[in-house]
């Protein structure tokens, strides 16, 4: 499906696995219950970036559910990824550092789901550290993703401030480290 990605929607969610394959995340959000949750919470757009995985989410097309507010787009890779992040209110992302940091840079409400099939899984360490500092919601059990997202959305509606704001990025850090190493 290749619809226009930009919109002035009231509420937009992005689900992304980056350029990788994370079939279990995509399969666990591809449920009638998940789509109905977003629809009932007045989300108007859901963009799914499924990466290189073979599973194509399509249950939102089911005649059983009648989505009143929510339109759904599915893409392999998004060419204007940063713009989609900027236009999204909530993001569910795999635990890749690039996606996570890009989302935090733009101060998005971020759910992180790690791919437990990876060897030497650095995603768990990143998600745990960011959750400990209250910057992200760490989804530990993909089979409970709908419930975890629902709990957060319910609290948000009650005006609870749930996450800390991630500090601004200091773009001088890397050059300063290099200068220090070179003794310049």
Over residues 30-53, mean pLDDT? 96
The string of DSSP letters for 71-109 reads: EEEEESS-TTHHHHHHH-SEEEEES-HHHHHHHHHTT-E
Which pLDDT tens digit goes with each residue over 114-167? 988 775 678 888 899 999 999 999 999 999 999 999 999 998 877 667 787 887
Tokens of 21: 């394959």
Give the span between the Cα atoms of 44 and 42, in whole angstroms.
6
Q: Any idea what DSSP says for residue 137? A: E
Give the span between the Cα atoms of 52 and 17, in whole angstroms.
9
Range of weakest confidence among 17-21, 80-84, 148-152, 169-173:
169-173
**Alpha helix (H) ranges present in the chain?**
23-29, 32-40, 81-87, 97-105, 122-132, 145-157, 173-181
pLDDT at 169: 66
* CATH class held by domain 12-181: alpha beta
| 58 touches 34 (CB < 8 A) | no
Give the span between the Cα atoms of 120 and 72, in whole angstroms.
34
- The pTM of the full predicted model, rounded to 2 decimals, is 0.84
Give the span between the Cα atoms of 135 and 130, in whole angstroms.
5
Give the span between the Cα atoms of 57 and 80, in whole angstroms.
21
Over residues 4-20, mean pLDDT? 75
């Amino acid at each position: 499906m290749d619809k226009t990605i930009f919109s002035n929607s009231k509420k937009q969610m992005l689900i992304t696995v980056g350029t990788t394959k994370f079939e279990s995340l995509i399969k666990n959000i591809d449920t009638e219950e998940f789509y109905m949750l977003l629809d009932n919470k007045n989300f108007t757009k859901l963009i799914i970036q499924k990466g290189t995985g073979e599973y194509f989410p399509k249950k939102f097309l089911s005649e059983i559910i009648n989505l009143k507010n929510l339109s759904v787009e599915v893409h392999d890779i998004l060419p204007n990824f940063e713009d989609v992040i900027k236009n999204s209110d909530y993001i569910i992302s795999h635990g890749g550092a690039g996606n996570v940091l890009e989302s935090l840079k733009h101060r998005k409400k971020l759910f992180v789901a790690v791919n437990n099939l990876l060897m030497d899984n650095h995603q768990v360490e990143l998600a745990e550290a960011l959750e400990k500092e209250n910057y992200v919601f760490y989804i530990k059990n993909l089979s409970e993703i709908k419930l975890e997202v629902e709990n957060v959305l319910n609290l948000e509606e009650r005006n609870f401030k749930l996450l800390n704001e991630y500090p601004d990025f200091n773009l001088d850090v890397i050059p300063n480290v290099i200068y220090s190493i070179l003794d310049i």
